[in-house]
Amino acid sequence: MSRPVIIALDFPTATQALAFLDRFPAQLSLTVKVGMELFYAAGPQIVTAIEARGHAVFLDLKLHDIPHTVGAAMQVIGRLGVRYTTVHAAGGAAMLTAAKQGLVAGAAERGLTAPQLLAITQLTSTSQTMLNDEQQIPGTVAASVVHYAKLAQTSGCDGVICSAQEVAAIHAAVGPDFIGITPGIRPLTAATDDQQRVMTPAAAAQAGSNGLVVGRPITQATDPYQAYQQILTEWSASND
């Protein structure tokens, strides 16, 4: 199983995103996340442009709608050649199953490998108070995350997006082969920004994370390539 460090391209325009990628060695193949802001601004063409540079794309749109709509949208995404994409586990089993079927069908139309489908459990900005008072979900954040992970697995997803703090519990519940990709990764010297449940790369590796998503500590660094290498080194050393 590959264990990527995924760079979140949280830029408002394609020009800025591609200029950022040009700051890395041309021969280096990255895995990068295209989220809502960039995709809605630049469209599918940004995925094509990134892939043309030799990089893999994690298309993070967090779909959450009725099963038919999500399945149809995922069929389109399946044609793009991305490596990962996301849905909200809260959408339910029928929606998750439709999403997986759509990805497989779309990829097959182009003779491509279907993207891995990752379900959002709870956002890393979700606090205990938000879970109980605003979402009206009883119990702990960790229990909610494990519940959604089980639902995602039985519905055909390949893994989940979750805090590194919950990876061990997820693997204990559904097995070690179910992917746990973790955002909210910050080096010790970085600010936590608007995320509540954060962890360092080394701690995430020790917790069992299968991949990291890192944004501002790399994209806002004076030397993004050096920042990426430092995180990659810490992550890789802790996975040995």
150 has catalytic annotation: no
Structure tokens at 65: 């709608």
DSSP 33-65: EE-HHHHHHHTHHHHHHHHHTT-EEEEEEEE-S
- pLDDT tens digits, 128-149: 999 999 999 999 999 999 999 9
- pLDDT tens digits, 147-166: 999 999 999 999 999 888 89
On whether the CB atoms of residues 78 and 102 are closer than 8 A, the answer is yes
Rounded Cα distance, 41 and 61, in Å: 13
Calculate the CA 177 to chain-centre distance: 16
pLDDT of the residue at 192: 47
Beta bridge pairs of residue 86: 118
Model's pTM, two decimal places? Answer: 0.92
pLDDT of the residue at 5: 96
pLDDT of the residue at 184: 80
Question: C-alpha angle 212/186/214, rounded to 5°?
Answer: 40
Residue 56 phi, psi (nearest 5): -90, 150
Q: Which amino acid is at 42?
A: A
HSE, CB side, 13 Å, CA atoms: give it for residue 39. Answer: 18
User: Residue 114: CB partners within 8 Å, gap ≥ 6?
Assistant: 78, 103, 104, 106, 107, 108
- The architecture in CATH of the region 5-239 reads Alpha-Beta Barrel (3.20)
Spans of all domains in the chain: 5-239
Question: C-alpha angle 168/10/130, rounded to 5°?
Answer: 50
Ranges in the chain, pLDDT < 50 = 191-192, 194-197
